[in-house]
């Protein structure tokens, strides 16, 4: 899920299906529409995400134990909320520059995999707050792979192709 002001198409091209690794990509990456140009309503938009996953599953074989949620900024908050609340449906959560947004790690049905990259000068999600939320995830026993990187709130294809997306190769839901 994209961040505020972005579109599903743009997020698909720089994040979940980055151009530099697309030729070697071994996953189906979809980006959810319905909030192009806006922020996600993290209390109401979960159904859009779940419907999109169900829809793609009617067109392609989707290994149900390898479905991963991914999000940037407000899309990351939504990914955390859905992934932690309905963890039994997902192998993991990929996050760039976002926070828990009230999601409760202790409510996860299983210790879902999480990879999260944060930028040190992100004014929307300050590093100290992100680190405190990482501590909550770790205290709940969530296996967290985290990375602090130079930069501001702007996302980067390199963050996805170089750190986040490679994590999903071994992830599998119970």
By CB atoms closer than 10 A (0-12, 13-18, 19+), residue 46 is middle
Q: Which of 47, 46, 50 is nearest to 30 (CA)?
A: 50
Q: Please name which of 142, 148, 152 lies closest in space to residue 130, comparing C-alpha atoms.
A: 148
Closest CA to 52 of 26, 39, 70, 37: 70
Give the model's pLDDT for residue 162. Answer: 95
Residue 164, classed as helix, strand or coil, is helix
Helices (H), the chain: 8-11, 46-59, 74-85, 127-139, 157-159
pTM: 0.96
Write out residues in the chain with pLDDT < 70, as ranges.
Answer: none
Q: CATH homologous superfamily for 8-170?
A: Alpha/Beta hydrolase fold, catalytic domain (3.40.50.1820)
pLDDT score recorded for residue 19: 87
Angstrom distance (rounded) from CA 116 to CA 99? 9
Give the model's pLDDT for residue 149: 96
pLDDT, position 20: 85
| Contact yes or no for 86/110 (Cβ under 8 A) | no
């Amino acid at each position: 899920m994209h961040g505020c002001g972005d579109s599903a198409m743009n997020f698909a091209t720089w994040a979940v299906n980055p151009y530099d690794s697309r030729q070697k990509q071994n996953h189906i990456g979809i980006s959810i529409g319905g909030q192009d140009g806006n922020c996600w309503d993290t209390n109401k938009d979960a159904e859009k995400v779940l419907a999109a996953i169900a829809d793609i599953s009617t067109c392609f074989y989707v290994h149900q134990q390898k479905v991963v949620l991914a999000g940037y900024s407000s899309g990351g908050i939504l990914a955390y909320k859905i992934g932690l609340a309905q963890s039994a449906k997902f192998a993991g959560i990929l996050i760039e520059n976002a926070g828990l947004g009230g999601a409760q790690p202790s409510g996860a049905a299983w210790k879902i995999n999480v990879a999260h990259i944060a930028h040190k000068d992100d004014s929307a999600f300050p590093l100290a707050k992100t680190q405190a939320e990482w501590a909550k995830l770790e205290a709940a026993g969530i296996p967290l792979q985290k990375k602090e990187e130079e930069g501001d709130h702007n996302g980067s294809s390199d963050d996805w192709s170089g750190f986040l997306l490679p994590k999903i190769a071994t992830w599998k839901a119970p």
